[in-house]
Amino acid sequence: MNTYNRVKQEFIKKWITTLHMFDSSVEHPTNVTERRNAIRLSSDIAIAATRTGSTVWSRALISRTRNKTTDKPVARRILRKARNRMKNRCTTLRRNGHFKAKIGVRKRTEMLKSLVPGGELIDDKDYLIRETLDYIVYLRAQVDVMRTVAAVDSVSGNLPNDRRNK
């Protein structure tokens, strides 16, 4: 349990940083869709950066986010900082084996590969399942934190700042 809570704490700290950076870079966007994109991208960057260590999904998530925010120099700075902490080589390793996959399992692994970021680069089924396991943990942390933030935020959105002393 402690690891999970620590993950959530790390995530929210990083998320605050990325949100601040996004906010300072962009002049007030009027569009809700833009805001939602910014929030989601910042959240994705934060959760990928929370995963210290080299996992395929975290690196793929960061590089995928990079393609969407190339016009924001601040976002690039965030991504560079997050990327420097991990080795950003995502290479494909082919397996020289002869395992026969059942058709149902094969189709589903293809689908799982499309869901997990960076999954298409993984050929080994064992490795894919490990990555999925890791990814689910962090994805769930992301959802939990966002849900809590949304719940608290909707209740106390306009309150003055004396709540900080609580």
Partner 1 sequence: MDLTQGFGDRSGGESVTGLVESLNFSDEIRQLVTMPPENTGSFTALLEMPATQAMELLHFTDTSCSQATGDIAPPTLHHPFGTLALPSDSLLMDRAGRFSVIASEQNGNISGDSNSSANVKTEPTETDSMAENHNRNNCSGKRKEREKKVKSSMKKSKSSEEAEKLPYVHVRARRGQATDNHSLAERARREKINARMKLLQELVPGCDKIQGTALVLDEIINHVQSLQRQVEMLSMRLAAVNPRIDFNLDSILASEVSFM
Instruction: Give residues 47-106 in contact with partner 1 (rule: CB under 8 A).
Output: 52-55, 87, 89, 91, 93-97, 99, 102, 104-105
CA-angle at 15, arms to 51 and 26, nearest 5°: 130
Sites for partner 1 among residues 8-27 (CB under 8 A): 8-9, 12-13, 15-16, 19-20, 22-23, 26
Query: How many Å apart are CA 12 and CA 28, to the nearest integer?
Result: 23
Residue 135's nearest CA partner among 149, 114, 150 is 114
For residue 143, the minimal CB distance to partner 1 (Å) is 5
Q: Which helix (H) or strand (E) holds 102?
A: none
> Of 77, 85, 111, 120, which lies in the binding site for partner 1, with binding defined by CB under 8 A?
111
For residue 146, the minimal CB distance to partner 1 (Å) is 4
- The yes or no reply on residue 125 touching partner 1 (CB under 8 A) is yes
Which segment (38-46, 62-70, 71-79) binds partner 1 by CB under 8 A?
38-46
Q: φ, ψ for residue 121 (rounded to 5)? A: -80, -10
- Please name the residues in contact with 86: beta carbons below 8 A apart, sequence gap of 6 or more: 52, 53, 54, 58, 59
> Of 64, 83, 109, 121, which lies in the binding site for partner 1, with binding defined by CB under 8 A?
109
